[in-house]
Each structure stands twice: as C-alpha cells, then as structure tokens.
A and B are shown apart, each in its own frame.
Chain A
C-alpha cells in the first residue's frame, strides 16, 4: 500500500531508486567511483545530454517524439559559430542559432500536426535534413572557433564543476515548476494523456504540441552550444546518436512513449544513470563495448519496473476510493 502510494505520487521514483542502487553498487566496484575527482569528470558533460533529455521528455509527455535533436544539437551551434566568425557579437549569434532551432521545432510541429504525419517519421526526415544542412553551411570544413571569448558565465569552472551545471539546475527547476504547477504544464499532460479529451475540454492541443516541439529543439540547440563552448571546437558530426541517448534517458526517467507521463527530474536522473554506467565501465576497465549493452538493459529494467508499479496501482482500482 505505501509502496504503491510512493509510485503513484512520483512516476520517476523508480529511476531514483535505480540511481541510488547503482551508486551503491558502483562504489563497491571501484574505490574511485565515489570521489569528487570522478564526479567532476562525470558531471561536466551532463548538462548537455540532460538538457536534450528534458526537452525530449516534455515533448513525449505531450504525446510526440523527436528524432532530430541530435542534428539540431549540431545545426544550432554551427549557425552560431558561423555568425560569430562573420563578426556578429556572441549574444546575437546565440539568439540566431536558437532561432534556427526554434524554426526546426516549428517545422516538425507543422509537418506532424497539419499534415498528420507521425512525429516519428516527420522528425526522422528532419534528422537527415538538419544534419545535411549543418555540413552544407559549414562548407565541409569545421569553422575555426573564436579563441578570445569570455565564456566563464556558461562553462567556467567552479571548483569541481562547470557553470553549465547551474544552467541545467536553473532551467530544470523552471521547467519542472512550469510542468507541475502551471496551467500550461497541466495542458501538456492532458494533451499527451488523452488528446481527444483535452481538445473537447477546450485545450488548444495544436498550440500545446507546437510549443513542446519548439521547446525540445531549442533545448537541443542550447545544449549543443554548451558543448561547443566547453570543447572550444565545432565539428558538423557532433551530437550524432544523441537522439537515442536522450530518448533512453527520458524512458529510464519514467517517460512513457504513449504520452501523458514523465518528469524533468526523471530525465535528469536518466541522463545521470547513463553517464554513471559509462563511467564505471571506464573505471573498472571493462571492455567499453559493454556500454551499450548496459544502457539497453537499463531501459528494459526501467520500463519493466514502471509497468509493474502502474499495474500494482491499477489493481487497487476504486476499491479504496469509494467512501460509502
């Protein structure tokens, strides 16, 4: 009963339990795992994949899907770097890059909603188109990254961390509160949970989905920019395969493919879990090719736990609801 209650309140609690169990197991497997130095290494790239995963999760909650985030992860910073190298100031270049990402999201939404094409297919097309565009506009060569930029405010080091982790925290908290405590957040859950009901009860589901598609793309673009700032270089192939990692993080974090279920915290936990798995494989010198196997197993385990928790809560159906 209590067990059931916990799962009912937080769909991401199974991911949290897995994270704790995993941390415990990993700390036994390697004495270096639970050290600050190690956490520094693991956490540095986390904001990038976690931001993509948050966007994908919110889009999945609204009942849609985006396979083009890995390509937007490259296209958006490529636009920014090209603008900068033609003399445009950094803030305006960033806005330019993010505007392109927003446009990609808008086109994804338009193809899905207006033409009625499943988002899986629409964004698969966009995956190829956006990647191709990235290579075409770069002219085939990675453009030089401007050296003399002040980037402390986004990727500077604070002790063991990067400033970008605070960007992730800030954006995560804002979006988490927006999802749970604001009316629009409620509409996102309603649209994914039962689109027909949401529409018939007066929610503009097209507006909701257009918003989540655009938000997802913009977060992917921003994440790509953060990676470019951190590495101080850009290659047109960056972010290849990130769409699958982000979807894996979202699903491990409790998001359901059918829509209407998921959370920001879950997405971040999912991203952390994947990063920790990669980390322990390196620390214990296991053949690195086991990484994908472990992530795959994690997806299956997470989905199974979530399904069992949901079934358990369904079994108690209305027995304990009627008060008479």
Chain B
C-alpha cells in the first residue's frame, strides 16, 4: 500500500446532546478515491466538515501525511491542500465567476491580505484557465455565478479546488439537484482527479455513481464506520444491504 495521506483516530463529535460521530478510525492512502455512503444523519457531512475546518472535533486526532494536523478553521484545511465541494453551492450568486474562484484567496497587485488591491486581470485570466482545465467552456469570467446552471457552478467549484493545487478533494453530494448530463460531467471530473493522483473522498446517495468512480467504499451508520470494502469486491446490492 502506498504512503498514507490521511489518518483519523478516535474521532468524536457532539452537537450538544447529539453524538454525530462515535470514535471514527480511518486510513486513506495517497491517490485513493474513497466513496462514503450511509443513510441521512449518519455523520458523513460532520466528518468532512471536521476535515475542512468548518467544525472542530470534540475528541480524537487527525494525521496528515503522518503528522498530526490541528484544523481549526477553513484556512488551516486549505493550507494542507484539502479542498471541499460542499453539499450546497459554496458560491456567491451575485459575484463574478472570477471573484468566486478566488473568494477568500484573492490575487493582489499590492498590499497584504485584508488590505490588498485586487489583481482583477490576473484573476479573470487564471479563472478562465482553471475552468477550461476541467473541460468547462464559459464565455467570460466577469459574468455573475447566478447566470450559470447548477452543473456549471459545480464545474467552477471543482475548477476552484484544482486551481489551488488540491491534494485531497472532498465532494459532499456534489450531484444533488443536477441533471443527468451535468451529473455525468461531475463524475468525469472525479475520474480526472483520480488520473491526476488526487486523493478523493466522494459522498453520494447514488450508490451506482459511488460504485462507478471509487476504489474503495466506506459506510457510516449512526456516527460509526460499519463497513470498509474495496469497490471491486462489492456490488450495489450489497451496498444497499449495508446501509439499510
């Protein structure tokens, strides 16, 4: 097995009285595409929100490339090369495509972060390149996100993740509310990431999709890991049995 990218040990999360994650242990080697499945409320989103710095674990440790990582805020996760495509569209509809690609990580002509003059030309140019790199062809990076379809928005989200040299890509139900054609495109993106050696955690309710694009499948139930299988060793029928 190749080098470990991520390990978690004894991860717990309480939201007040709700015990959403109950002592999770998980190892993910570099470049593996892991499908995370489980019923609603199983704790999948909770797990990835801890990895991406939105929530802090109540207990337990996270190791990144062998070293313990303390992820306190989204920027800590980004600094580790973790990029997340959230269950909702993490885009600002009124803002331009370019600004959305660089949101929170703007390119500056001058100044320091928080007091920097934007380099709008460079952002527009690099946004268009990043979007083209994931096979999406949009007319102008100056158009607002609200004028894009759901699939196009998800494409921009993936382009954003790739532009910032994501080494671990997390997708939390990225195909919700997408048409069949758009969904296929997102699945294609995941395959592309795999070819580029990016570690991927892919969450979806569509078990056929998970089976199609992953190397390994991990199932959660009520905050616990209940199955951990290599994808070729299982099929959709067995997956359904596991999570119901």
Chain A residues with CB under 8 Å of chain B are: 8, 181-184, 186-187, 189-190, 193-194, 196-203, 260-261, 313-314, 316-318, 320-324
Contact = CB atoms under 8 A, between A and B. Distances in A.
B143 A260 contact: no
A202 B144 CA distance: 21
B106 A186 contact: yes
Interface in B173-211: none
B138 interface: yes
A190 B92 contact: yes
A186 B96 CA distance: 11
A196 B95 contact: no
Contacts of A317: 146-149
Given A194-B93, A197-B92, A321 B117 contact: no
Given A183-B106, A202-B104, 12 more contacts: A183-B114, A186-B106, A193-B95, A196-B90, A197-B89, A200-B74, A316-B147, A317-B147, A317-B148, A318-B152, A323-B138, A323-B139
Interface in B104-123: 104-106, 108, 111, 113-118, 120
B149 A183 contact: no
A149 B43 CA distance: 67
Contacts of B57: none
B104 A190 contact: yes
11 contacts: A8-B143, A181-B120, A182-B116, A183-B118, A184-B115, A187-B104, A189-B94, A193-B92, A197-B89, A198-B92, A321-B143
B92 A182 contact: no
Interface of B: 52, 54, 73-75, 78, 84, 86, 88-95, 99, 103-106, 108, 111, 113-118, 120, 137-139, 143-144, 146-149, 152
B144 A8 contact: yes
Contact of A183 (B108, B137, B138, B143): B108
A176 to B, nearest CB: 14
Contacts of B146: 313-314, 317
Contacts of A190: 92, 95, 99, 103-104
A321 B148 contact: yes
B152 A321 contact: yes
A321 B139 contact: yes
A323 B116 contact: no
Contacts of A320: 139
A313 B147 CA distance: 8
B95 A200 contact: no
Given A194-B91, A200-B74, A260-B94, A322 B137 contact: yes
